[in-house]
Structure 1
Amino acid sequence: MTLKELSVGDRARVLGFLAEGGAYRRKLLAMGLTPGAELSVTRVAPMGDPVEIRVRGFALSLRKDEADALKVEKL
């Protein structure tokens, strides 16, 4: 599943990146979204874009296409 499919309050672990998400891969890695990192969804904007997550002790907002590039496992 991808990060975009999670709801507010859900927790997940990063598994990797989708092949078509290549443009965002380096950016997401630099922001701490490495495989094995745990995150939680704290907010989703009314139209679904952006999504705010909490990862490694800080809040991070991602656009829908960035969130769709991230493969996660729901915890």
Structure 2
Amino acid sequence: MRLSDLPKGSPAVVDRVDDAHADDVIAQRLRDLGFVAGEPVRLVAYGPMGADPLLIQIGSTRFALRRNEASRVTVRMQEAA
């Protein structure tokens, strides 16, 4: 499942960040920010009327990502602890 499709508040874990092309700067930046395999992630909120940006929490840090950036991150659902 793509991070951009994750239901609001649902716990998930990052599987990978997909590169759109060789030397994908955005994908590398996402990895640098902590979007790496095994990290817990949660979609906290949507922008106005369900649009951009998405408020994403990874670990204890929150990021505002555009929907197209979040769609590069593949996650798997996780049961709530």
TM-score by length of 2: 0.81
Distance 2:57 2:46 in 1: 12
* Cα-Cα RMSD: 1.5
1:15 match: 15
Shift of 1:20: 2.4
Shift of 1:41: 1.1
Runs of 5+ consecutive residues of structure 1 not aligned to the other structure: none
Distance 2:42 2:6 in 1: 9
Distance 1:47 1:8 in 2: 10
TM-score by length of 1: 0.87
Aligned residues: 75
Distance 2:30 2:51 in 1: 19
2:64 match: 61
Runs of 5+ consecutive residues of structure 2 not aligned to the other structure: none
Larger Rg: 2
SS in 2 for 1:20: coil
> Among residues 19, 38, 41, which one is paired with 1:39 in the alignment?
41
- List 4+ stretches of structure 1 deviating above 6 A: none
| Percent of paired sites with the same residue | 23
2:52 match: 49
SS in 1 for 2:15: strand
